[in-house]
Amino acid sequence: MSTDGRLLKGEQTRRTILCRAADIASAEGLEGLSIGRLATELGASKSGVFTHFGSKEELQLATVRKAVDVYREHVVEPALAVPKGLGRVRVLLDAWQRYQREPVFPGGCFFHSTMAEFDARPGRVRDAIAASQRDWRDFMERCMREARDLGEIDASADIPQLTFELDAVCRTGSAHALLHDDPAFYDRAARAMNARLAAVATSTA
């Protein structure tokens, strides 16, 4: 029981560290992370934080994984809770905008920040961020194809192109909303996405 208690406490500490790390990275980038800074902010020892990660790169990689888990909870899981089809696509896009609007992270979308930071910097961290974005696009495309297979999206629709356009519009709306401190850009993005979906929706949908 004593060993189990220590393991549980260790896992709780790790989660606390990663939650704070993801918050920092969303606003300042992954390079803004350091074991010393996290130890100071959380009132922990450097050695205690170091034990969980071992290096700055491992801390960055663990933070990316944490952000993926948060994104899945707030965006992907709500979509999976509704039946396949155009309704799932709409719930997915609504959940994505809600994740950005709230915002879940203080710096807005974690991946918008870290993609810009690491897009031209080869290495394990960039690879992890890129993999998360491939998984996201694959999931969006899957939802679109399901809607097309159900006859709710026109059979001639170019699904990868449609996914790219919706992804680009939602990201751009969020970026401008944050930059200009103007939530109207979220509304513009929502209108653009709804119009794009309406253009490919069938009478069945």
Q: What is the pLDDT of residues 175-188, one digit of tens each?
A: 999 999 999 999 99
Convert the chain into a string of H (helix), E (strand) and C (coil): CHHHHHHHHHHHHHHHHHHHHHHHHHHHCHHHCCHHHHHHHHCCCHHHHHHHHCCHHHHHHHHHHHHHHHHHHHHHHHHHCCCCCHHHHHHHHHHHHHHHHCCCCCCCCHHHHHHHHHCCCCCHHHHHHHHHHHHHHHHHHHHHHHHHHCCCECCCCCHHHHHHHHHHHHHHHHHHHHHHCCCHHHHHHHHHHHHHHHHHECCCC
Q: How many angstroms separate the CA atoms of 185 and 188, rounded?
A: 5
Task: Look at domain 56-200 and name its CATH class.
Answer: mainly alpha
Q: What is the pLDDT of residues 134-143, one digit of tens each?
A: 999 999 999 9
Whole-prediction pTM value? 0.89
Q: What is the pLDDT of residues 53-98, one digit of tens each?
A: 889 999 999 999 999 999 999 999 999 999 999 999 999 999 999 9
Q: Which residues are paired to 201 by β-bridges?
A: 153
